[in-house]
Every structure is written in structure tokens, then in C-alpha cells.
Amino acid sequence: MKYDVIVLGSGPGGYVTAIRASQLGLKVAIVEKENLGGICLNWGCIPTKALLKSAQVFDYLKHASDYGLTIKEFDKDFGAVISRSRGVAEGMSKGVQFLMKKNKIEVIYGTGKVKPGKKVDVTDADGKTSEISADNIIIATGARSRELPNLPQDGKKVIGYRQAMTLPEQPKSMIVVGSGAIGVEFAHFYNSMGTDVTIVEFMPNVVPVEDIDISKQFERSLKKSGIKVMTNSSVEKVDTSGNGVKATVKTAKGEEILEADILLSAVGIKSNIENIGLEEVGIATDRDKILVNDYYQTNIPGYYAIGDVVPGQALAHVASAEGILCVEKIAGLHVEPIDYGNVPGCTYATPEIASVGLTEKAAKEKGYELKIGKFPFSASGKAKASGTPDGFVKVIFDAKYGEWLGCHMIGAGVTDMIAEAVVARKLETTGHEILKAIHPHPTMSEAVMEAVADAYGEVIHL
């Protein structure tokens, strides 16, 4: 079969790319070895949010008296919580199947391998291989949980994020190695369910990519919820010979032995670039990534790559944006390269974290003179009424020209608020323009305006 575009992988990069290509009048096939929607939809973004919603509801029940309500008896059904999460993922995957049919995209199930001459071999579950070809081949094979040599995953006692979503029973205790988004989201979920959780982080601060003020506030929130946090620490080895796991942890004070039922390794991801034909075709790679230009073309004409397999933030919304740009360029539309400095990042624990742009430290290192404003949710009427006063909004502006350099939030619902800063920065909005844009009252989003007002010495409610 001959197509205009073949996409390898149907994650949020791949399936979005295929749909946009079809909208542009191209004949499209998508190759998927497992489930439509990829890791994000089936084993990542979506099912974890379902788990976290169950944890949130359970937390509400535990604190019902704070809202003037009396609930005498309630409990959790861990199996039902897991089952709901899987049901949400399966429903979303079926939604992608519908979108494939609607957009007349041919779905070919099997493992794809690129070949010279703009061809792809697809091997199905029975081992049968067929060949397809296209003028343009887009690699969107995503990533998987990274395994460290000293933390080999056996899928039972030392697990990755995939097993963490489908444990047959709730562990009484868990060690989480790594405090990035994956690590802290699972730490929050299991802690909320009643598991005794310890986070081990190699860096000096949890969620280390975030602004330091966010990291400090989040660590306080973790400890307040009962999660033990060990920073400047590393797991040197694990012993799984007994009933559970014994982890030898190196700290500033020396070695410490931690014992738990389960250890979750959340130390990052590994790109899926092995055994997909890159070497045979001659596609250049460097440090686990496929090298591409601003329009996601590899060094071999007709071959492209997007998402977690290329340099840049390994985020679902980034993969989607890259795929859309890639096929629009293929179709001859005028496109502009993605501004990776204006990509929002979100962490869905409690409290949530959302950020975009430069941290205060990075802005200072670039030589900017800064105007910084902060507004705590403890001063927000909506946050107080909702019973979620923890957290704040922090904004960073260039003092000379008013450029919005960065925005960092921690609190309830902030992942739904960060888009204001992303759009404003895209439009090169200044601090004064944000101040004069009327924000509705009472809302959590008022805190953005108030933080900007604080930066310019005009804050009203603080």
C-alpha cells in the first residue's frame, strides 16, 4: 500500500498528527503495536488523572466535617478505583478509534520498522510482516519508564509507572524514587489511599525543574500530608529477596536502609528508538534522541520524528503541537517553529503545580532586572470558600520593558489557570495590560491579576 503519510505510533503525538494530515487532504496510515492513544492515553496522562480524582474525592470524604457535613461511614475499594481508571482509559481509546474512522485514517496494528526507500515493515501479533510505503514517514514511537542499573524493574516489587496503575492490591508501604511529575503524582495517590509513602530525590529539592519557591512550598505540602521526603539522596541498591523491598539509600548523613512492600522507580523516561530501523535507514541520533530540524525533518529526506523521541520537553501537548506543525509543513502551509520557552508544565498532585517561562533563578542568570509578585491563595475569597487556601501565584517580569518572563503556580486547579500566562506571553502582553484586564470575582484566576499587581506595587487584597 502507498500513502502520503505513515505515522509510527498513535500516542498524543501520533494520532493528532494523523488527523491533521487527513484534514489537509493527505492519505494517511497509522501503525500501532498496542492500543490507540499510546502510553499517555492508556497508561499515563489520562488514567493517572482518574486515579487522582478518586484520591481527591476520598480526601473530601475524610475532611467532610470541614465543610459542615457529617459522614459516619465510608471506605475505599482499591480494586474499584483501579477498575474505574482502566475504564476511563479504555473509553478514551475507543474515542480515538472513532476519530480514526471519521478521518478515514487506516489503522495498521503491529510493530513498525522503517526501511530505506520510504518504506515501513509492519509485523503483526502472529509474526506476519507486510510492507507499506509513503512519501513521508513520521516516527512518533514515544518513550517508556527508564531503568537504572541499580534499580532493575521486576514488575512486582520494583515497578514502573505502568505497574503502579494496575497493582492487584494496595501496598501498605511504598518507596518512590524520583520526585518529578510521575513520582509525586503516584506518591500523592497512594498516600491518599492510606499507603505509607517515602520519596527519595537525588536533587536538593523535590520537583527540581520548578521555581525554588514552588519546590519549597510543595515539599511542605507533601510532609503535611504525611509523606516522608528525602532529598540529596540516592538509592544505591535494592534487595528483593525477602517479602518486600530493602533499599540502601545514600544520604548526606550516611547510608540508610528503607523497607517497603513496593518500590516505584520514577527516574525519567527512555525513548523508544531501538529496533525501529533507524540504523538501517541512516537516521542520525544523539543521546537517546532522533536529531531533527525546526520542522521535524531528520537527516534523511522523507523521514520525520516528533514527540518523546526528539529533543525538547517530553510532554503530550508538545508532541501534539510538533506533529501538527510537521504535517502542515509537509502540506506546504506557512508555519513557524515552536517556541519551547513558552511551553506550560503541569503536575497533578495535591496541590497542583503549573508553570511556564523562566524561573526566578534562570531570569537572574540571563541578566534581567526583575519585578516579582506573589499572591497567596490564603488571601483569595474563592480559595478560602473552597477550602483550598494552600499555595500561591508567582509572576516574574522584566523591569525594563514589562515582558512577562515567567509564571509559577501551586494550588487547587492551577493546571487550568496557566493557559492565561501562556497566551499572554505568546501575544507579548505586558504586566500593565494584565492589570487592566478585568478578572472575574470570586475566582482562583484573580490571583494572577493580584500577583501582577504585587509586582508593580498595586496589590489590593494583600
Q: What is the number of structural domains in the chain?
A: 3
345: which 3 cell numbers? 508544565
pLDDT band per the 50, 70, 90 thresholds, residue 354: very high
Instruction: Give the pLDDT of residue 68.
Output: 95
CB atoms near residue 38 (< 10 Å)? 30
* Helix (H/G/I), strand (E/B), else coil: 24: coil
pLDDT band per the 50, 70, 90 thresholds, residue 244: very high
Instruction: Give the pLDDT of residue 34.
Output: 87
pLDDT, averaged across the chain: 95
Instruction: Give the pLDDT of residue 340.
Output: 97
Catalytic-residue membership of 441:
yes
Say which residue the cell 527512555 belongs to.
Answer: 270
Instruction: Give the pLDDT of residue 142.
Output: 95
If asked whether residues 318 and 372 sit together in one domain, one would say no
Instruction: Give the pLDDT of residue 143.
Output: 93
Instruction: Give the pLDDT of residue 248.
Output: 96
Element (H, E) at 114: strand 111-115
Does residue 85 carry a pLDDT above 90?
yes
What CATH number does the domain containing 405 carry?
3.30.390.30
349: which 3 cell numbers? 498532585
Among the candidates 220, 243, 267, a domain finishes at 267
* Span 439-450, average pLDDT: 96
Interval 19-53: pLDDT, tens: 999 999 999 999 999 889 888 888 888 999 999 99
Among the candidates 340, 375, 396, a domain finishes at 340
Is residue 91, in this structure, part of any structural domain at all? yes
Tell me the residue type at 314: A
Peptide bond into 351 cis (omega under 30): yes
- Which residues make up each annotated binding site for FAD? 49, 112, 308
Instruction: Give the pLDDT of residue 187.
Output: 97
- Which residues make up each annotated binding site? 49, 112, 178-185, 201, 268, 308
Among the candidates 267, 285, 317, a domain finishes at 267
Q: Please identify which of the residues 63, 432, 441, 461 carries the catalytic annotation.
A: 441
Interval 89-146: pLDDT, tens: 999 999 999 999 999 999 999 999 999 999 999 999 999 999 999 999 999 999 998 9
What CATH number does the domain containing 215 carry?
3.50.50.60
Distance CA 408, CA 29 (A): 40
If asked whether residues 396 and 300 sit together in one domain, one would say no
Is residue 250, in this structure, part of any structural domain at all? yes
Beta bridge partners of 304: 138, 297
* Span 415-430, average pLDDT: 97
Distance CA 379, CA 387 (A): 12
If asked whether residues 108 and 257 sit together in one domain, one would say no
Beta strands per DSSP E along 232-282: 234-239, 245-251, 254-260, 262-265, 269-271
Domain residue limits at 184: 158-267
If asked whether residues 135 and 51 sit together in one domain, one would say yes
The CA-based diameter of the chain, rounded to the nearest angstrom, is 69
321: which 3 cell numbers? 503541537
Tell me the residue type at 167: L
Interval 51-74: pLDDT, tens: 999 999 999 999 999 999 999 999
C-alpha gyration radius of the chain:
24
281: which 3 cell numbers? 535507514
304: which 3 cell numbers? 520525520
3-state secondary structure 156-209: CCEECHHHHCCCCCCCCEEEEECCCHHHHHHHHHHHHHCCEEEEECCCCCCCCC
Instruction: Give the pLDDT of residue 41.
Output: 83
Does residue 445 carry a pLDDT above 90?
yes
Beta bridge partners of 452: none
- Which residues make up each annotated binding site for NAD(+)? 178-185, 201, 268
Instruction: Report which of 245, 251, 256, 220 is spatially closest to residue 392, judged by C-alpha positions.
Output: 220
